[in-house]
Amino acid sequence: MQQDRPMTRWERFKDNDIVWSFLHSPGAIVAATITLIAILACVFAPLIAPFDPFDPAQISLWDGKLPPAWIDGGQPQYLLGTDNQGRDMLSTILYGGRLSILVGLAAVCLGMVLGVTLGVISGYVGGVTDAVIMRIADVQLTIPGILLAILINGIGRAALPLELREEFAIYVVIIAIGLTDWPQFARVTRGATMVEANKEYVQAARIIGLPGWMIMLRHILPNTLRPVLVIATIGLALAIIAEATLSFLGQGIPPTTPSLGTLIRVGNEYLFSGLWWITFFPAIALVVLVFAVNLLGDWMRDALNPKLR
Amino acid sequence: MLFFILKRLAQSVLVMAIVSAVSFSLFNFVGDPVNNMVGQDATREQRIEIRQQLGLDDPILTQYTRFLGNMMRGDFGLSYRIKRPVDELILERLPATLELVFVSAIIALFVGITLGIYTGIRRKSWISRSILSVSLVGVSLPTFIIGIALIYVFAVHLRWLPSSGRSGTIEFGWWKTSLLTVDGWRAIILPAITLSLFQLTLILRLVRAEMLEVMQTDFIKFARARGLSERAINFRHALRNTLVPVITIIGLNIGGLIAFSVITETVFQWPGTGLMFIQAVDFVDVPIMAAYLVFVALLFVLINLIVDILYFIVDPRIRLGE
């Protein structure tokens, strides 16, 4: 780009290599659009959804088990049909997706905070602390995440008294998935921290006598965040799948405030009576959501880290 | 060599110690064991007596040592719900899980390697391209959704195969097998496919990548220059050299199969150990939960130990690095 006048902010933004890569990758644009639409639809579910599935006044059992609008017997106000309780499928999916995304984000955040903190400490302090943290991460990585999440979630549920289980189910799920997530974050952050720690600006900060925590927080941490973002995106897809799986197993979000996984579980019981839409639409919503987030993560990995290409 | 194995062994023992401590603490922090044994309406004296019988008044460390001793003998006490010894219950359920994992592993290996070779050799053909795109979708589909889809198509719609349970079992001592009858095979086929699909795609992609890499090497070019037939190049030279990494990841894949068997068993109501664990959580059946935890940890520790040692034997570079 010619420099006869200073670049405007927008031009500088467009000139950024990440933005360039994004605008030249149709897959990434489609994935980002789908993800954005899904997130917006779920965030604004109360405004978009034609019905409120949690309002008993809007639900009538008479309208239960109606097929989608384009099939014989369907009614135009229920576009995707209704479930066994007469709730509009489209509305329950929007509300369910909202919960799924929320739980996924919360779980990834928990795993990220935990993993990045331990990773920076591990990489900066080194020695025994480093050895202990990384050994734990190694051991945890040998066990498949979904199994670990099922086990931690199971222990968490069992530890709660029966009457509190439904109320706290969502937190137990978030903690279980977050705790299985952290080793990836810790490993990547530790590697990046070790690279940064030897650079001159960190040594300069040390010489002027800044305390260790401040060097870690203010100087090293911001420089390790690129790879963390990639792992967080791929982790979000995995966390959404993990939540759906736990809920499908009946170990996650209770049917009173269903997530996508819970909806699929409930619908599964009606599959044999031929009421396929109660399972089918939430399942499709879940698959599309996960697929879009996955594609986005793949693109981000390529764009942010040329070494992995 | 000896030092390496000893180091790995020490690590494994440490892991088992942590897991056993977790499962021991389950007994103490989850529910009241006395309530679970006698029910709500026992008298105070009865409760105190049972507390003493169970040794719950001893110091924690004594209790933990006793728990470890029992664990070594495979004794986890009685299930709260079914009132039978837990080790017996697990042994009863184990054949179902192992057979499911075994059949899935065979499917994943056989189909995965075959398709991997095909897509590796004919990488430009449209069949290879479609196999690869389908496998990409397969990776992002959650296991339970694949299970539901298979049930809907083959059990509900076409009515070809049963949708749940295990049938046609024949007993050999304590081992109940379903692999010897037509009914048994009909029941195992859907869950086995569901379980194998994810591993299958992984193996497919790995074999393909390895094949592509080997095809670029000098010795394959040299074999071409010598005028060997395509068949000899593909199978005698290329395939052989791709199998080393494939064999080493099989061990880890068995771990993955066991992990996902929990989900598959629940979808198909397959009476294995995974379904037992899920049901135990619902009823807070602590002895079964604790036993399953130790069992799974032991399995993974063993698998990893074996894979590590195999790596060590197969790849001399690791030996030098240590």
- Note whether A271 contacts B142, CB cutoff 8 Å: no
**Digit-coded pLDDT (tens) for B148-161:** 888 888 887 787 87
Classify domain B90-319 by CATH number: 1.10.3720.10
Distance CA A247, CA A261 (A): 5
CB B181 within 8 A of CB B95: no
Amino acid at B56: L
- pLDDT confidence band for A1 (50 / 70 / 90): very low
CATH 1.10.3720.10 fits A97-308, yes or no: yes
Among A201-210, B48-57, B75-84, top mean pLDDT goes to A201-210
Q: For residue A200, how many other CB atoms are within 10 A of its CB?
A: 7
DSSP A134-196: HHHHHHHHHS-HHHHHHHHHHHHHHHS-HHHHHHHHHHHHHHHHHHHHHHHHHHHHHHHHHHH
Task: Compute CA distances B185 → A130, B107, B193, B261, whole Å.
Answer: 50, 13, 12, 17
Q: Which of A64, A17, A11, A3 is nearest to A309 (CA)?
A: A17
Residue among B263, B282, B284 minimizing CB distance to A245: B263
Distance CA B316, CA B322 (A): 10
Q: Which helix (H) or strand (E) holds B275?
A: helix B273-282
**Digit-coded pLDDT (tens) for A104-125:** 999 999 999 999 999 989 988 8
Distance from A272 to chain B by nearest Cα, in Å?
6
Residue for token pair 């190049």: B233
Residue B322 predicted with pLDDT over 50: no
Contacts of B143 in chain A (CB under 8 A): 245
- Note whether A287 contacts B163, CB cutoff 8 Å: no
Read off the tokens for A248.
């499908």
The dihedral built from the CA positions of residue A289, A295, A300 and A301, taken in this order, carries a sign that is positive
| Complex confidence, ipTM | 0.78
- Note whether A135 contacts B11, CB cutoff 8 Å: yes
- Mutation pick from A146, A163, A260 vs chain B, by most beta carbons of B within 10 Å, is A146
CB A169 within 8 A of CB A252: yes
Ranges of each domain in chain B: 2-72, 90-319
Task: Please report, to the nearest 10 degrees, the dihedral formed by the alpha carbons of residues B18, B24, B25, B29 taken in order.
Answer: 160
Mean pLDDT of B133-156: 81
CB A288 within 8 A of CB A281: no
Q: For residue A95, how many other CB atoms are within 10 A of its CB?
A: 24
Among A60-64, A87-91, A110-114, A187-191, top mean pLDDT goes to A110-114
